Amino acid sequence: MNNFQTVLVAIFLAFFVFAVLIFSGLLKIGGSSSTSSALTGKVIVWGTLDSSDIYKVFETANEVNKNLTVTYVVKPEATYEQSLIESFANGTGPDLFIMKPDMISRFEKFTYKIPYQSYTERVYRDNFIDGADVYLASDGIMGLPLVVDPMVMYYNKSIFSNEGVSQVPQTWDELFNFNSKLTKKKDDGTISQSMIALGRYDNITHAKDILATLFMQSGNSIISRIDNGTTVTYSPVLNSDISGTGIVETVLNFFVEFSNPSNSAYTWNRSLPSSLDMFTSGREAMYIGRASELFTIQSINPNLSFDITQILQTKGVDTKKTYGEIYALATNKKSTNINAALNVAGLLTTGDNASNFAKAVSLPPVLRTLLAVKPTDPYLSTFFNSAIISKSWIDPNSVGSDAIFGELIQNILSNKLSVSDSINKAQSQFAQIIGK
């Protein structure tokens, strides 16, 4: 397909999305040629994403719709969820709130689900990346996706060139071929340069997201959602092994290999600083992190010579996956202005508004039409490609799951429990926090 055809298809899809929203009732044209008459009143939006450019997106919505006032309120991430719960209990909650997948199980009861009669599941799946299906329930759509923060792999170009390595690995198993060149040890065995941070938990930045990526690439969703339309049940499936191949055990055995001093894959130990600090100090060849960390890495070490590629994949698997934090706009079901709130959510997640919002927070969009037009910037191009393959899981409690995964790895490393027993214990712990 040539460039003209690509642009033509993108324009057609954009008009298609707009038309669907109009005729579905999400965007109402009350007898005039604009949507301004349909959008009235005040709409309060809460979220943790912060940027001066975000406010410009909301200001544009206000300018176009003279009878509407949209106000965005930034909340501290540490207290965001508690503030939401308290506000919902007091009847003072926002009309719209930005939700992440780790909020789904606890905030479903506060969320107005967009009926499929108004916005069909087929249209939703056609509009957004596959990973956005995490917001689909049997009786409606829990949130309209905004942006995604995918896991990617940063790599130190100087280390690779200094060691005569011309290509960056693309699969996890290739790491075993690179370690002898990229990991350096002093005479006393101390690691002075690491190939990659794998094998431990506490000093590996985003260790939970790395494990989640490995599990999802292996076909394990960690938590399952059973939704029959009247009741919703969340269940841990970490020890589920339908294939009978022991795939979760295989994943964990692979992960901990890199912290075993007697193994040729040894590249990480608990005496090292955080993986982010190791990378920014120029002592780590590859760092698995978020797309959102680009500016942080650049600011910590402006002289660091690095590039970015997609996260490593499992050899022999056709479907690429990476963990992605997918942000969505959810509607408070107790809002006194639900119609306007839904209209605002529809406006912010389509067309130029969606593009401008993504640019404002420096994250890839989730609309397929926007991702189809690849940016020329090499970093952004990688982020867009990673966004397309992003998947999320329904984390029942981000703090609790972090502790569970940490204990899971520690139980294996210390030989306190077998790998199988460690998995079963983690399974039980997940069941406990889901039940709370």
Per-residue model confidence (pLDDT) at position 244? 52
Q: Structure tokens of 79?
A: 């207290």
Regarding whether 282 and 158 lie in a shared domain, the answer is yes
Query: pLDDT at position 316, please?
Result: 87
pLDDT digits (tens, 9 = 90+) for 9-43: 343 344 334 444 443 444 442 233 334 445 788 99
Q: Are residues 429 and 353 in the same domain?
A: no
Among 138, 98, 109, CA closest to 327: 98
Residues 356 and 368 in one domain: yes
Q: Could you tell me if 227 and 287 lie in one domain? A: yes
Helix, strand, coil percent content, the chain, rounded in steps of 5: 45, 20, 35
**Residue range(s) defining the domain that contains residue 406:** 151-322+394-435
Domain count, the chain: 2
Q: How far is CA 180 from the centre of its chain?
A: 32
pLDDT digits (tens, 9 = 90+) for 132-151: 999 999 999 999 999 999 99
Please, which pLDDT band fits residue 187 given cuts at 50, 70 and 90?
Answer: confident
Q: What is the mean pLDDT of residues 329-341?
A: 95
pLDDT tens digits, one per residue of 212-260: 999 999 999 999 988 876 788 899 999 876 555 689 999 999 999 999 9
Same domain for 124 and 159, yes or no, is no
Model confidence pTM above 0.95 = no
pLDDT in tens, 260-309: 999 999 999 999 999 999 999 999 999 999 999 999 999 999 999 999 99
Is the same domain home to 106 and 245? no
Say whether both 276 and 211 belong to one domain: yes
**Residue 60's pLDDT is what?**
82
Mean pLDDT score, 90-118: 95
Domain final residue, candidates 391, 406, 422: 391
Percentage above 70 pLDDT, the chain: 90
Q: Which CATH number goes with the domain that contains 313?
A: 3.40.190.10
Angle between helices 247-257 and 419-435 (to 10 degrees): 110
- Is residue 366 located within the same domain as residue 422? no
Residues 384, 354: one domain?
yes
Q: In whole numbers, what is the pLDDT of the chain averaged over residues?
A: 89
| 355 and 402 co-located in one domain | no
Distance between start and end Cα atoms, the chain: 52
- What is the mean pLDDT of the segment spanning 50-54? 88
Q: Are 390 and 322 in contact, with CB atoms under 8 Å apart?
A: yes
pLDDT class of 372 with cuts at 50, 70, 90: very high
What's the whole-number mean pLDDT along residues 207-214?
98
d(CA 224, CA 237): 6
Distance, CA of 381 to CA of 361 (rounded, Å): 16
Q: Dump strand ranges (E) for 343-403.
A: 390-391
